[in-house]
Structure 1
C-alpha cells in the first residue's frame, strides 16, 4: 500500500488550538498551539507559528517558528534558520541550521542492535554494538 496517499492538514495562521492533538498523517502548524502533540506522522512548525507544549512527539519534526517544550521524533528533528526552540530534544537525527536560538539538552536515539539483549552475555552485547556502529559509518 505504498501508493496510499497521506492526508496533509494545515492549522492556519489565524488558528489557536489548546489541548491534546493526536494524528497519523502530516500536519503543518501556522498559528498558535498550546498543549500536547502525539503523532506518528510528520509535523512542520511554520516560521509564524508559536507552540507551547509539555510534549511534542512525531515521526519527524521540522521547526521554522517558535517552540517551547520537549520534543521527541523517532526519525529526525530539523531546526531551520531563524527558529527558536526552548526544551529538550530526543531524536535519531538532528539538524540545526545557522541562526537558531536553541536552549535545551539533546538525547540521540540509536537503532537497536539485531541481538536479543537478554539472551547474550554483556561482553557479547557490547561487541555487537561495536560491530554495528563500525558497519554504519
Structure 2
C-alpha cells in the first residue's frame, strides 16, 4: 500500500461491484469492479484483479496494478505496476511506470507545494523554503 500509514484501510473485495461516486478520507484497496468517480484525500490502490471504469480518480497517491479506464489525479504520486493497463490522462507530482505496462494517454506533472502553511509562517521562512526547493531541483 502507499506510504500513508495513518488512518483506516478499507478493501473492496473481488466480488464487490460498485457504481457511483466514492468519496473517502482513509486508504482504500479495490480488488473488484468500480464504475463512476473517486474523490479521496487518502491513498488508493487498484489491485491486479480490479477493473475500474471512471470519469476521474482523485486521491493523495494512487497505485495501479489492474485495469483503469479514465483520468487519474494524485496530489503526491501515481505508480503503474507491471501488468497494469491504463487508458486515460495522468496528473501527479511524481510518477513511476514499471516495465510491462500498457498505457494510453497524456501525462501532466504538477509541482508539489511546500510542506508549510504560508499563512502561519514568517515571510522570510517561506521564501527560504521556496529557495531550498528550487535549488534541490537543479
What is the TM-score normalised by the length of structure 1? 0.81
Structure 1 gaps, min length 5: 117-128
Greater C-alpha radius of gyration: 1
Look up the SS of the partner of 1:134 in the other structure: helix
Residue 18 (structure 1) aligned with residue 39 (structure 2): no
User: How far apart are residue 11 of structure 1 and its match?
Assistant: 0.3
Moved over 4 A (4+): 129-132
Distance in 2, matches of 1:40 and 1:87, equals 21
Distance in 2, matches of 1:12 and 1:108, equals 32
Distance in 2, matches of 1:20 and 1:61, equals 17
Partner of 1:98: 99
Residues 69 and 132 of structure 1: is their aligned pair in 2 closer, same or farther, counting only changes over 3 Å? same
RMSD: 2.2
Distance in 1, matches of 2:12 and 2:132, equals 45
Distance in 2, matches of 1:19 and 1:135, equals 42
User: How far apart are residue 50 of structure 1 and its match?
Assistant: 0.1
Aligned residues: 122
Look up the SS of the partner of 1:52 in the other structure: strand
Partner of 1:87: 88
Distance in 2, matches of 1:130 and 1:82, equals 40
Distance in 1, matches of 2:84 and 2:31, equals 13
Residue 71 (structure 1) aligned with residue 72 (structure 2): yes
Partner of 1:133: 134
What is the TM-score normalised by the length of structure 2? 0.81
Distance in 2, matches of 1:12 and 1:36, equals 18
Structure 2 gaps, min length 5: 119-129
Distance in 2, matches of 1:66 and 1:46, equals 9
Residue 62 (structure 1) aligned with residue 63 (structure 2): yes
